Structure 1
């Protein structure tokens, strides 16, 4: 899995990098067909001049075979935003995997039903 981490209006520290990679390893355990994940960590200072809190944003774009998923999370703390982003991505991946398994399983069940109905009754 190829993971690229970049920062927008913020420099990505070693601790941020390891936190992102640690959280995304959980996503990779649930779905092994991930081609790449692009993570963008950013800092929005728009509310800072008005006395508001700075808003940290963590975004991720995951590319898997035939599928692209996007998530974003905002928080006052970058690490909380990273955790929330990883949790959202994990939920999307598990939901996608469940859909794939149901679709795959559905074909098998219909074939089994046809064979049962076609069997002669003695």
Structure 2
């Protein structure tokens, strides 16, 4: 099982972030949290790295279904989506979404399979939309 659903975009980082937010919104995901890893590492450790942003995406109906199956599944919510510059290929931005099937695998809860499948369909549609825009 793959850790991520992903695509590569030949656009600047800021444009990739904007497009990612729009593609997620088109699939019913809002961004609840945002972690600027580059800025955090610079501030806390005085370490430089490429632009790297973690978006905590949530689709409320899917989250509600998952929590209805197992309340502890909140530990794995929201769906993390990473937008990061590729240090090996300047001008290229990677967008990676957590594979929702991991939620089933980690929890061992088969009743989460339909939720994970629906979440994967929506996240893959967002990723595919980004691929079409490169």
| TM-score, with structure 1 as normaliser | 0.32
- Larger relative contact order (CA 8 Å, sep ≥ 6): 2
The structure with the greater share of residues assigned to helix is 2
| Structure possessing the higher radius of gyration over alpha carbons | 1
TM-score, structure 2 as length reference:
0.30
User: Which structure's residues are more often strand, by fraction?
Assistant: 1
